[in-house]
Amino acid sequence: MNENNDAAPPNLADVRARIDAIDRDIQALIAERAGWAREVGRAKGPLKAAVDYYRPEREAQVLRMVIDRNRGPLSNEEVVRLFREIMSACLAQQEPLKIGFLGPEGTFSQQAVLKHFGHSIKGLPLATIDEVFQEVAAGSADFGVVPIENSSEGTVNSSLDLFVTSPLKICGEIELRIHQHLLARGGRLEDIERVYSHPQSLGQCKAWLRANLPNAERIPVSSNAEAARRARSADDAAAIAGETAAHIYGLKVLARQIEDRPDNTTRFFVIGREVFPPSGHDKTSLLMSVKDRPGALYDLLTPFADQGLSMTKIESRPARTGKWEYVFFVEVEGHAEDARMSAAIEAARARAAELKVLGSYPVALL
């Protein structure tokens, strides 16, 4: 591209003619790519449903190559988003994937679904995280997306606890930058007496609420979209939610980006019924429990250190089998099929009361 700001400005019609020619090439190449994606489908053999064609490890590899090749001017986020949409459309040629998430429409979970799977899917908004697990287990959804932790509010325990009894596997992680806005039907900040939101979002905006709406009642509800739905019915009510909820529920943004931390990020897991092969840069999530004795947890974790694997997260949750018994959620860099990881898992299994591999999945891209 010629970008010489001192030269005379180009002729608009000429520039548009160039863009038209490039669009023709891009479109022809996308069509050709879609044709090859069908060939990949045929190469995979006579499979039954869209879910059988989906390959998260291959998608992660394709997107890493896109990032490696990117020399600008578009950001990595933008080029990854475009290529995700191309893959999403290529895969949907068979039939769109059905993805369950915590609804209603307009939640951050829905944004995470679109970020990860693109728009050529069928989204299934569900009432609870528990239902997301159930619908995936029953096969009515191909995959589910559930929130796991927020950078300021910590772990979403209700999601983590469901893994204790669920047979489902983690097959992906998604990181989503969260911008919270104060949304209302109209009016002014001074008129707001009630603020609805999901407890996590109320927590993420604590300092802002204290400074700007110290007297407003804070009312926790099941999702941010539900908060927006409620704010729609009264002038003195507001919701804390994302931009999508403002569009869907026809609300105005009274205050923008009110999250206390500018790097506010939520991490989601993609849950499914099967495990996928290594992508080359993966993480493994494990659930382990130990009999209570001195050094038990230390013994459980040393095999990973011995194999030189780094642990990226550990979280303890009550086991619900007895008072003061715990299960540990542990995340380690690597894939369960890697030699060092499988050796570490076997050594830990021998020391654990229980050990379950929840899944190995590509590390979130951007």
Ligand X SMILES: O=C(O)C(=O)C[C@]1(C(=O)O)C=C[C@@H](O)C=C1
Q: How far is the CB of 205 from ligand X (least distance, A)?
A: 36
* Residues 136-195 within binding reach of ligand X (CB under 6 A): none
* Binding status of residue 53 toward ligand X by CB under 6 A: yes
Residue 172 or 242: the one with the smaller Cβ distance to ligand X is 172
Name the one residue in this structure whose structure tokens are 């693109």: 118
User: How many angstroms separate the CA atoms of 244 and 101, rounded?
Assistant: 15
Residue 123 or 242: the one with the smaller Cβ distance to ligand X is 123
Choose one: 51-59, 120-128, 180-188, 234-242; the region binding ligand X (CB under 6 A): 51-59
* Binding status of residue 338 toward ligand X by CB under 6 A: no
Exactly one of 50, 51, 59, 352 binds ligand X (CB under 6 A); that residue is 59
Position closest to ligand X via CB: 90
Exactly one of 52, 62, 85, 137 binds ligand X (CB under 6 A); that residue is 62
* Binding status of residue 287 toward ligand X by CB under 6 A: no
Cross-sheet strand order for the sheet of 282-289: 311-318, 326-333, 282-289, 354-362
Residue 40 or 350: the one with the smaller Cβ distance to ligand X is 40
The verdict on whether 302 is a catalytic residue reads no
Dmax of the chain from CA atoms? 78
* Binding status of residue 37 toward ligand X by CB under 6 A: yes
Rg (CA), the chain: 23
Q: 10 Å Cβ neighbour count for 342?
A: 16
Spot the catalytic one: 266, 269, 284, 328: 266
Q: How far is the CB of 90 from ligand X (least distance, A)?
A: 4
Q: How far is the CB of 55 from ligand X (least distance, A)?
A: 4
Q: How far is the CB of 2 from ligand X (least distance, A)?
A: 33
User: How many angstroms separate the CA atoms of 176 and 296, rounded?
Assistant: 35
Name the one residue in this structure whose structure tokens are 């209570």: 292
* Binding status of residue 55 toward ligand X by CB under 6 A: yes
Q: How far is the CB of 64 from ligand X (least distance, A)?
A: 13
* Binding status of residue 66 toward ligand X by CB under 6 A: no
Residue 14 or 39: the one with the smaller Cβ distance to ligand X is 39
Choose one: 16-24, 55-63, 106-114, 229-237; the region binding ligand X (CB under 6 A): 55-63
Q: How far is the CB of 97 from ligand X (least distance, A)?
A: 9
16: Cβ contacts below 8 Å, ≥ 6 apart = none
Question: With contacts defined by CB under 6 A, how many residues of the chain interact with ligand X?
Answer: 11
* Binding status of residue 40 toward ligand X by CB under 6 A: yes
* Binding status of residue 58 toward ligand X by CB under 6 A: yes
Choose one: 56-64, 168-176, 191-199, 203-211; the region binding ligand X (CB under 6 A): 56-64
* Binding status of residue 87 toward ligand X by CB under 6 A: yes
Exactly one of 50, 63, 91, 287 binds ligand X (CB under 6 A); that residue is 91
Q: How far is the CB of 124 from ligand X (least distance, A)?
A: 19
The verdict on whether 101 is a catalytic residue reads no
Spot the catalytic one: 108, 133, 268, 328: 268
Q: Is the dihedral of CA 69, 72, 76, 77 positive or negative?
A: negative
Residues near ligand X (CB under 6 A) are: 37, 40, 53-55, 58-59, 62, 87, 90-91
User: Residues with catalytic annotation?
Assistant: 266, 268
